[in-house]
Structure 1
Amino acid sequence: MNIPIPTATLVTVTPEMAREWLEANENNRNVRDRRVDLYSSEMEAGDWMITGEGVKFDWNGRLFDGQHRLKAVIKAGVPVQMFAFHNLDPEAQKVVDTGAKRTAADALRFAGITRFVSEIASMAKIVIAWDEGGYRRSGSNSHPDVPSPAITDWSLENIEAATAAADLASQVYRSPFPVLSRSTLAAALFMISRVDEAEARKFAADMIDLRLSGAGDPLYTLHRRIESAIKSREAVGTAGQLFFYFRAWNARRKGERLSVIKIGSANTAAGVATDIAVPAPI
């Protein structure tokens, strides 16, 4: 058997071409709709980038990689440039996507960010998702997808404030005050600082120094609630953790006594989910 020589061509893939190529899609993994939505949003916004990845066909003409890209082209309804690989060994499918993935933190390092890289990358995902309406239900455990270019852009635009928030969160993490996720705390402090930077710093400083006034003090209740979650190994998602911080913060701002911080149900249809209070001046 003469083995065909693999080829790689940069192609402008139209929605019509994507539909045609998908007809050769056999024995591929299940489609992940969130990945299609993520890719299509980048394509619609003109943010899609050409990389060494693309659509791959074996020497039998079967598509074995790239279905998410092609479905995204169809959903976006715009032509997109990407590489098309042909005449690959059918056995190559077994090793596709098995290498180490580049993370959002890797992208920040490439952009020159060196301090609190992982924390800022995670913080960026949370804040971007929050600003787009995500994490509004305390009982939700969903994790909105945020494209890496958006994380990098946000981090570069907010590097000073993001670094300050990450630094504060790290100080709290090293203190006796209990913390479930350093990155989520950093995101909460960043968003609180957009309301009042000085008060945000005092909020963190009071955690670090354990300045708690006993029952009814929002910070004391926050301490006990997080401590209880850690001891009981309660699974508190990002939304729940944000709710903890914002509930305590808003109560302090209003001078309210706070004795309980209770996560609501994720079952929004039943109307019993607890809305996360948006940090705002009183």
Structure 2
Amino acid sequence: MATAVAPIAVQLAPELTLEEVNQLASAGPAALHITITPALAKGLLTQNRRNRHIRENTVNDYVRDIQNNSWPLNGETIKLSISGDVLDGQHRLLAIEKAGTPVETFIVIGLPPETQATMDTGMRRTVADALALSGEANAATVASILRRVWAWEQGDRKFTRRNSPTTTESQMLLGAHPEIRRSAEIANRTRAAFPHIPQSALGTAHFLFNAIDPGEAAWFFQRLGDGAELPSGHPILALRNRVTSERAKEGTVPWARQLTYLVHAWNAVRSDRRLSRLQVKAGTVPTPK
């Protein structure tokens, strides 16, 4: 027969010192609704004695969201043991300290140390998950384009950096550029007709080209998809032949190279230049013209 367990009441404690938090934790499990100041975060981190390796990219992601005032009170908790050790939440605490900004959150204190083994075992929601939950059509394609457009705007023209936009940053970018939704539609349609370039590269290229000339961008992707009436030496025909041949030989073509091919073909079309073969050098993706 199961034993009934009384629920833990949440105590409102806007600001506490490290000593006060530790004293409360020593009394056993409790939940607090609290504002964690940079000073308190720093103090708690001195009690971060047994935890995972720090992921600097994750900390920096959190810092940007905190500084952008886009860190909502969403029910996620920081967890402390009965002795005050940080069991879960070290990245958030590091971000609060680094951002230099207080954050309102929940913390659960007074937990047995052995409970740490069962924490963070679920699958983290992706940007695509968040977009789908908000009813966004083509959520996976939109998310993949947002990631690359964000990198492009950060100046990463080789797409080799490991950091990615947070969910909030992705949603803000989509708000600033709602036309990315149309780019996702075009990417999915082109991919269905010509399945040799991923939607993320197609959609990113469409977003960049559409900002230069919407009419020519529409024609470019229609011809890329159907290959209709492309004479010998046409850049789009050279593009189709190159990626088809490479996929047959290599199986998978690096993502940045795919975008490089798209930009080279686009620039050749824009300058009315013939291309019998599409040849590019590895490195920075060129700027569309």
TM class by shorter chain equals 0.7 to 0.9
Deviations 1:159-188 (A, max 9, x none): 4x223222221222111x343311221121
Contact 2:47/2:85 (<8 A) preserved: yes
The structural deviation recorded for 1:20 is: 1.0
After TM superposition, give the deviation of residue 4 of structure 1 in Å: 5.9
Q: Secondary structure at the match of 1:86?
A: strand
State the one-letter code of the partner of 1:27. Answer: R
TM-score, with length taken from structure 1: 0.84
> After alignment, is 80-89 or 66-75 more displaced?
80-89
Native 8 Å contact 2:80 2:88 kept in 1: yes
Matched, 1:23 2:40: no
Report the CA distance between 1:199 and its aligned residue.
0.7
The offset of 1:103, in angstroms, is 1.8
Mapped contact 1:179–1:185 kept (Cα < 8 A)? no
Q: Secondary structure at the match of 1:229?
A: helix
Equivalent of 2:169 in 136, 150, 154: 150
In the TM superposition, residue 152 of structure 1 has moved relative to its aligned partner by 1.8
Change (3 A) 1:88 1:233: farther
Return 5+ residue gaps in structure 1 as ranges.
Answer: 265-273
Name the residue aligned to 1:222: 239
Contact 1:247–1:276 under 8 Å retained in 2: no
2:131 is aligned to: 108
Residue type of the alignment partner of 2:58: R
Aligned partner letter, 2:208: M
Name which one, 1 or 2, has greater alpha-carbon Rg: 2
Query: In the alignment, is the contact (CA less than 8 A) between 1:141 and 1:238 conserved in 2?
Result: no
Within 5 Å, give how 1:76-91 maps onto structure 2: 76-91=99-114
How far apart in 2 are the matches of 1:103 and 1:133?
23
Aligned-partner SS, 1:183: helix
For 2:145, the equivalent position in structure 1 comes to 123
Aligned residue number for residue 77 of structure 2? 54
C-alpha distance after superposition, 1:189-217 (max 9, x if no partner): 12211111111110111012213333x43
Cα deviation 1:32-56 (Å, max 9, x = unaligned)? 1111111111112222222222321
Closer, same or farther: CA 228–90 of 1 in aligned 2, 3 Å: farther
Q: Confirm or deny that 1:169 pairs with 2:180.
A: no
Q: CA RMSD in A?
A: 2.1
Identify if the C-alpha distance between structure 1 residues 234 and 263 changes in structure 2 by more than 3 Å, giving closer, same or farther.
Answer: farther
Distance 2:252 2:154 in 1: 24
Identity %: 32
Q: Which residue of 1 aligns with 2:269?
A: 252
Q: Distance in 2 between matches of 1:169 and 1:143?
A: 24
- In structure 1, what is the Cα distance between the partners aligned to 2:30 and 2:68? 30
Letter in 1 for 2:64: S
Paired amino acid for 2:284 = D
Aligned to 1:232: 249
Flag the structure with more relative contact order, 1 or 2, with Cα contacts below 8 A and sequence separation at least 6.
1
Cα distance in 2 for partners of 1:148, 1:221 equals 37
d(CA) in 2 for partners of 1:213, 1:144: 42
What residue is the counterpart of 2:203 in the other structure? 186
How far did residue 263 of structure 1 move? 4.2
Is this contact kept in 2: 1:172–1:208, CA < 8 A? yes
Higher alpha-carbon deviation: 74-83 or 32-41? 74-83
Which residue in 2 is equivalent to 1:269? none
TM-score scaled by length of structure 2: 0.82
